[in-house]
Amino acid sequence: MYRFNLYKGYQRVTRKNSFMIPLIYTCVCEEIKKSMILKPQSYFLLISLIFCLVCIGDVSAYYLNLEVPRQVQAGDLINVTGSTNIPPDTVTITFSAGSNVPVEYGSFSIVFDERGDKTFNTSFETTGLLKGQYKIEAKGENVHTFSAGSRSIRIVDIVDRSDELILSSPDVQQFDDKLDVDGYIRNFKENAVQLDLFLDDAHLFGPEFIPVDRHGDFSYEVPIYAAGEYFVRFSDYKGLIGTYPILVKERTVQTTETVKPVSTSTPLPLLTRDTTSPLIDSENTKEVSAVVSRDAPGYFLVIAGAPDVAVFTSEGADWVMEYLTDDRTEPWKVNDRGRDGREEILLEVNPDDRIYVKVYPYSFTAIDDLILYGTNVAEISSSWIAEEKFGSGSATPQTPSSIFILVAALGIPVCLILRRKR
């Protein structure tokens, strides 16, 4: 007659450290002594059987673990690390789409020729991939039974927010000691965004928080000291928004006799000037007026009447001037004076050369009255041809006279109706 509780004895064993075999053996012996009465032969047989089961169970457990980041920005590397204790084998790590369609984007094979614990690492490119879920999986050439804690498949999210920000400044600019960074961010609720500037992987500027208005618009000038391919990186509290390239070319001076930009600090020999602004009542000066804003700039055609031409704005607003010619296809921007001065362009040209000018306020919200002056010019006027030269689809700016005519045209019928009612 004997009694024993083998399940109770196994529970006591598994609660101990499975690698401490002597302690396990002792624990099993004690449990059997408490739980059953056996003959010496049966007692020894059961102890040996349980001891073998415990040892075999521990030795047969293999593992293979992968560690990857849960989220990666599109264009960054996915760094993969892992560990395993499988016997000699070749393990292949694949990077593929997370959908049901098996599209593989990369793979890496590792040969393990030793037993014991081993670690490994690799990485995968994400440049050009769409945002979404992707899968990284590790498989050996031989079939292994892994423990429940193994993680040989991982899911990673690739995030791409670059379509949230639109740059409106030219992606190709001429070097003028500053980089124009203008644009807007869709559905942006903050009042600032972080900007960093890079040139050939060197961090040149930032992090700088630049203001963003309630419409998501921003405008900023970053000082630069050389031409090259720059990369502007924007971030917010959620992380990286995107990185955008801007190519800055060396400033070129025309060698022909058509148009030669010169320093705005050099006075013209044919122009009488005081210390603050050009003389606007000269008989050689003509003018044109318009009401302009950032959304509705003024476009003007200037025809040269002499070799030295000056084009300048009225005071009272922070104006931005851009100009080009029939030979210059990329606009040249001028914004040096601020609100208290006149922006001016001084050029050496041939008579009858055409200069196309675009003027607007620096502020995104301003609507200002502009007077544009031209000295030594044959003609200066608002022009749809200039608008086409700048590639704009907006309407031709209205002058104060055209606004008066429009108001009068609308007001006369109203007066007639009121008079009839009386």
The 10s digit of each residue's pLDDT in 230-256 is 999 999 988 889 889 999 998 765 544
Report the amino acid identity of residue 277: S
The rounded distance, in Å, linking the Cα atoms of 80 and 68 is 5
Q: Residue 306: what pLDDT?
A: 86
Q: Residue 44: what pLDDT?
A: 60
Q: What is the DSSP letter of 164?
A: G
Q: Residue 357: what pLDDT?
A: 94
The rounded distance, in Å, linking the Cα atoms of 360 and 386 is 14
Q: Residue 117: what pLDDT?
A: 77
Q: Residue 302: what pLDDT?
A: 92
Establish whether domains 162-249 and 259-403 are of one fold. Answer: no
Contact 73, 42 (CB under 8 A): no
Cα-Cα-Cα-Cα torsion 126, 128, 130, 134, nearest 10 degrees, comes to -30
From the candidate CATH numbers 2.60.120.380, 3.10.20.600, 1.10.760.10, 3.40.50.11540, the one assigned to the domain spanning 259-403? 2.60.120.380
Q: Residue 205: what pLDDT?
A: 92
Residue 97 has pLDDT above 80, yes or no: yes
Contacts of 341 (CB under 8 A, 6+ apart): 276, 277, 315
Compute the average pLDDT of residues 257-282.
44
Cα-Cα-Cα-Cα torsion 392, 309, 304, 285, nearest 10 degrees, comes to 100
Domain ranges across the chain: 6-59, 64-159, 162-249, 259-403
The per-residue pLDDT for range 310-361, each reduced to its tens digit, is 999 988 888 999 998 877 777 888 888 777 778 888 888 888 888 999 999 9
Query: What is the rounded average pLDDT for all residues in the chain?
Result: 76
Question: 162-249 is classed in which CATH architecture?
Answer: Sandwich (2.60)
Residue 143 has pLDDT above 90, yes or no: no
Q: Residue 393: what pLDDT?
A: 45
Contact 133, 157 (CB under 8 A): yes
pLDDT bucket at 408, cuts 50 / 70 / 90: low
Q: Residue 305: what pLDDT?
A: 87
| High-pLDDT (> 90) share of the chain, % | 27
The rounded distance, in Å, linking the Cα atoms of 280 and 342 is 11
Strands 153-159 and 71-73: parallel
Hey, which residues does 106 pair with through a beta bridge? 95
Sign of CA dihedral 145, 147, 150, 153: positive
Nearest partner of 294 among 261, 265, 318, 326, judged by Cα: 318
The per-residue pLDDT for range 196-234, each reduced to its tens digit, is 999 988 899 989 999 999 888 999 999 998 899 999 999
Q: Residue 211: what pLDDT?
A: 94
Question: 64-159 is classed in which CATH architecture?
Answer: Sandwich (2.60)
The per-residue pLDDT for range 58-76, each reduced to its tens digit, is 445 788 889 999 988 888 8
pLDDT bucket at 403, cuts 50 / 70 / 90: very low
The per-residue pLDDT for range 410-421, each reduced to its tens digit, is 555 555 555 555
> What is the residue whose two structure tokens read 């047969």?
60
Q: Supply the pTM of this predicted model.
A: 0.41
Sign of CA dihedral 381, 386, 388, 394: negative
The per-residue pLDDT for range 113-139, each reduced to its tens digit, is 877 778 888 999 988 888 889 999 988
